[in-house]
Amino acid sequence: MVNAHKIKQDICEIGRRLYAKGFAAANDGNISVRISENEVLCTPTMHCKGFLKPEDIATVDMTGKQIAGRKKRSSEAMLHVEIYKNRADVKSVVHCHPPHATAFAVAREPIPQCVLPEVEVFLGDVPIAKYETPGGQAFADTILPFVQKTNVILLANHGTVSYGENVERAYWWTEILDAYCRILLLAHQLGRVQYMGEQKERELLELKKNWGYTDPRNTPEYQNCDVCANDIFRQSWQEASVERRAFNPAPTAVRHPDAGDQEALIQAITDRVLEAMTRPAR
């Protein structure tokens, strides 16, 4: 039997972590946990996540309609509901605005791969969903192209949404992502980011598979992809105005034409040429 009060306490604890980490300023962010086929516990709107109490938590159904709670549910509850509808394994969703990850969402800069082993194992390629005014169904629908292939998504000009089998795990993915984005920005200030390369990345993907973590790059659909080149979500870049501006592609980003995506190949070659042209002479 589900202990709803204990889950509400867990939501409040994650709310405190979000606030303490600076991931949810003022009344930003929202957290939810699905407790039954048609019931979702959800944080209230206009309420600081650092000071939640169990009695503040609302309950909504799988249409987003509030069915219990003394405070009005989050205005972005539909985003959570849409994820639950499309991922039966997901029991919790966390949406917030972690500064370093959100900087990538605002710049619409793809997050480089093949840099940190832990990020490759726990996150993989992180997509950027197109911008839409928060709160409605159109906003919730922006995650649909990605929700099956990842557990964390950047929301253009907005923030992040991550999800998992419980509220702590859902929160983890956002914390890992923001720490990684901070490291990338600091490394970029030092002058460059060094990549692990495709061979070492494939070793990590094999470990990931052996440890029971899924990754689209381990499926037949992407067996010929460049594992360091954001290939999983590259086709979505144009619609969301995503483009590499700050970070050069990994050295393995130029692929063999048999991999298919000629447009991506041309872009990769262009990126490499521009990188060579702008590199300081020695």
Spans of all domains in the chain: 1-282
Who's near 44: CB < 8 A, 6+ residues apart? 56, 57, 58, 69, 71, 72, 73, 74
- In whole angstroms, give the CA distance from residue 226 to residue 252: 7
Cα angle 21-129-94, degrees, rounded to a multiple of 5: 35
Q: What is the pLDDT along the chain (282 residues), one digit of tens a residue?
A: 899 999 999 999 999 999 999 999 999 999 999 999 999 999 999 999 999 999 999 999 999 999 999 999 999 999 999 999 999 999 999 999 999 999 999 999 999 999 999 999 999 999 999 999 999 999 999 999 999 999 999 999 999 999 999 999 999 999 999 999 999 999 999 998 999 999 999 999 999 999 999 999 999 999 889 999 999 999 999 999 999 999 998 885 444 444 445 555 566 566 666 665 665 554
- The CATH topology of domain 1-282 is L-fuculose-1-phosphate Aldolase (3.40.225)
Residue 161 near residue 28, CB atoms below 8 Å: no
Statement: the pTM of the whole predicted model exceeds 0.95: no
Residue 30: φ, ψ to 5°: -160, 150
pLDDT attached to residue 266: 61
SS3 content of the chain, % helix, strand, coil (to 5): 45, 15, 45
Question: Among residues 132, 128, 142, which one has the least CA distance to residue 232?
Answer: 128
- In whole angstroms, give the CA distance from residue 89 to residue 73: 23
pLDDT attached to residue 255: 47
pLDDT attached to residue 14: 98
Question: Taking each helix axis from N to C terminus, what angle separates 4-20 and 167-190, rounded to the nearest 10 degrees?
Answer: 10
